[in-house]
Amino acid sequence: MMLVNPKVPKAAEVAAEVAAEVAALPGDAHKRPAQAQRARRPLCAATMALADLAGLGLAAALVRTMAAPADLMPGLAMVAAAAVGLTWLLDLYPGDRLHPQEILRRRALATLMTAAVAVGIAGATTADLAPLALFLALAVLVQVPLRSLARKGLRRADLWGTPTDFFSGPHLTSSLEACFAKHWHLGLNPSGGRGVIAAMSYMPDPQEAEELRRRYHEVIVLADMPDLRVSGLRPTAIGGAVGLSLCARRPRAAAALKRAIDLAIALPALVLVAPIMALAALAIWIADPGPVWYVQEREGFQGARLRVFKLRSMYRDAEKRLEELLRVNPAARAEWQAHFKLRHDPRVLPRIGRFLRVSSIDELPQLINVLTGGMSIVGPRPFPDYHLAAMPAEFRAKRASVMPGITGLWQISARSDADIAQQRQLDEHYIDNQSVWLDLQIILGTFAALIGRKGAY
């Protein structure tokens, strides 16, 4: 039997309600929930990690008093570091928005993986296995109450969880608010209209989802609760979570990791390609004497103006050549309006210009932009203003919410063959699904696209 949800508010109704509430707030108060959330959740994660470290430290002290060898203590410190690192990798800090059985499963997995690390540290010295096993057992026993105390302390300080607005129709909304107030450890706190998260009991249509994304830090479609039928979405189907996230902002840790990867790639890459850029610069000067560098202001992160560096692959009077061609050639004008690129571009320098563009060597100076923090290795391309002008304002705002990149998803999928609609689809997919693994796939795919010269001209 299928249960039908009550009538729910549509995008226009949700937008009107939220807009009215925002208008009633003083100054920039409507921005504060998201700003507070960015500080609250990392603080909760750090507190829970400290609770685990305290438990590990207490367990190590107990093992030491039981006449464990003194030279074993560095090994215990390594095991403790591995335990916290593995727990972090399993997304258990702070550990909210997960059902208790999923937390138990991940904790057990982290403990087993930590035990494997301990065995590796002990090596062939079987005498060390007993104190290491005792250390792990004591840590598990001590950490449970410490985590509970930390979580309750955070709740008393009004730091645990995230203010949440529930959209499910009048009857189910009140039940959901009561349910999550009772199960406060799940971390979705009924907010009374000042939420950072929009929690839905249904899958919103694309228009409504886009409206909610603009107004909320995160959008979640709730799964069924043990004592409440919500949407029919099973927690086991989404990794034991309380809901399926449709719009999650990347945590600062992910941004820091992306920045570290950018620097790790850009610095050695720039050293390696410097001779190639020097040879390319010489070839450009021979083909068309004059400046070999090309610098253009484009829109960067959060709308800031970005000076993008390139090797010049066009004649110095490129714009005049383009204007003349578009004036007299309707076919070229139609191609330009669809792609903002031309398969036979009169602006491109003979031989060397086309080679630079097909091989993307002309883009290599943007490694400098990466080092200075204006760009990333992977991200939406920083388009010229005339290209951006053809895009809807909301899409431009979405693109500006992430760092522009040297390469991106549409470069490995279509490159110059993509029209504006396909560029938008690919860029939105990347922005909504960005991760280290997607970046790695794009980086590897870039090499394949360059070798195959896919869609390049």
Last residue of a domain, one of 222, 249, 276: 249
Q: Give one word for 27, left, alpha or beta, with left for phi > 0 and alpha for psi -120 to 50.
A: left
pLDDT confidence of 152, banded at 50, 70, 90?
very high
Sign of CA dihedral 318, 322, 328, 329: positive
The count of domains in the chain is: 3
CA separation for the pair 391, 395 (Å, rounded): 7
Q: Which residues contact 157 (CB under 8 A, 6 or more apart)?
A: none
For 387-443, write each residue's pLDDT tens digit.
787 788 778 888 888 899 999 887 777 655 566 778 888 888 888 888 888 898 898
Q: Do 189 and 165 touch, CB atoms closer than 8 A?
A: no
CA separation for the pair 409, 423 (Å, rounded): 9
Sign of CA dihedral 225, 231, 237, 242: negative
DSSP states of 422-445: HHHHHHHHHHHH--HHHHHHHHHH
Last residue of a domain, one of 118, 135, 156: 156
Query: Which candidate, 194, 233, 201, places its Cα nearest to that of 8?
Result: 201
CA separation for the pair 368, 364 (Å, rounded): 8
pLDDT confidence of 264, banded at 50, 70, 90?
very high
Q: Do 367 and 361 touch, CB atoms closer than 8 A?
A: no
pLDDT of residue 324: 75
CA separation for the pair 182, 189 (Å, rounded): 10
Residues 117 and 171 in one domain: no
- Is 428 inside any structural domain? yes
Q: Do 150 and 47 touch, CB atoms closer than 8 A?
A: yes
- Is 183 inside any structural domain? yes
CA separation for the pair 254, 261 (Å, rounded): 11
Residues 277 and 264 in one domain: yes
Mean pLDDT of 303-325: 81
Q: Do 210 and 239 touch, CB atoms closer than 8 A?
A: no
DSSP states of 271-288: HHHHHHHHHHHHHHHHHS
Mean pLDDT of 20-42: 53
Structural domain boundaries enclosing 403: 253-313+348-452
CA separation for the pair 267, 284 (Å, rounded): 25
pLDDT confidence of 250, banded at 50, 70, 90?
low
Residues 71 and 181 in one domain: no
Strands annotated E in 313-365: none
% of the chain with per-residue pLDDT over 70: 82
Query: Which candidate, 300, 304, 309, places its Cα nearest to that of 277?
Result: 309
> Amino acid letter at 381?
R
Q: Do 121 and 75 touch, CB atoms closer than 8 A?
A: yes
Residues 300 and 421 in one domain: yes
- Is 113 inside any structural domain? yes
Residues 260 and 408 in one domain: yes
Residue 236 scores a pLDDT above 70? yes
Last residue of a domain, one of 105, 139, 156: 156
- Is 10 inside any structural domain? no
pLDDT of residue 38: 58
Residues 61 and 141 in one domain: yes
Residues 112 and 65 in one domain: yes
Supply angle C-alpha 39, 43, 46, rounded to 5. 145
Which residue would you say has higher pLDDT here, 316 or 145? 145
pLDDT confidence of 262, banded at 50, 70, 90?
very high
3-state SS class at 381: coil
For 324-381, write each residue's pLDDT tens digit.
777 777 877 787 766 677 777 777 788 888 888 778 888 899 999 999 999 999 999 8
- Is 270 inside any structural domain? yes
Which residue would you say has higher pLDDT here, 4 or 281? 281
Residue 28 scores a pLDDT above 60? no
